[in-house]
C-alpha cells in the first residue's frame, strides 16, 4: 500500500514547519510576511509562498519547484527532524 498525504495532513505539517522556523501562516491574501501554500494541479502541485506586500504579491522563498502533497509533507518533516536534532546537539 502506498502512502499518500492528505490535504489536512499537509496543512498541519505546514503549520508546524512555519512555527519551527519562525514564520506565520497567512490568514488573509494580504497578510504581509506570512507564508501560504499555493496549489496548481497543472503545474505539478504545491509550492510555499510568502506574501510580500499588502496587495497580496507573493514570492517563493524556498524555490519555485512544485511538489505533490506527499512530497512536500516528506520534505517538511525531514526539515523538522533536522531542526530537532540540531537543537538536541546544541544542548
> pLDDT for 24-42, tens place per residue?
999 999 999 999 999 999 9
Provide the pLDDT for residue 2: 83
Provide the pLDDT for residue 56: 95
Provide the pLDDT for residue 1: 66
Stretches where the chain sits below pLDDT 70 are 1
In a domain, 2, yes or no: no
- Looking at the structure of the chain, the number of domains it has is 1
In a domain, 1, yes or no: no
In a domain, 29, yes or no: yes
Contacts for 51 with CB less than 8 Å, ≥ 6 apart? 26, 29, 30, 31, 32, 33, 34, 35, 36, 57, 58
Domain span holding position 67: 7-90
Provide the pLDDT for residue 31: 97
Give this prediction's pTM: 0.91
Amino acid at each position: 500500500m502506498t502512502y499518500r498525504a492528505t490535504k489536512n495532513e499537509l496543512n498541519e505539517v505546514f503549520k508546524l514547519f512555519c512555527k519551527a522556523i519562525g514564520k506565520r501562516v497567512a490568514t488573509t491574501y494580504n497578510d504581509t510576511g506570512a507564508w501560504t501554500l499555493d496549489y496548481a494541479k497543472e503545474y505539478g502541485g504545491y509550492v510555499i509562498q510568502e506574501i510580500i506586500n499588502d496587495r497580496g504579491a507573493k514570492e517563493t522563498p524556498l524555490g519555485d519547484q512544485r511538489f505533490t502533497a506527499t512530497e512536500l509533507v516528506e520534505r517538511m518533516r525531514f526539515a523538522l527532524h533536522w531542526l530537532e536534532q540540531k537543537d538536541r546537539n546544541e544542548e
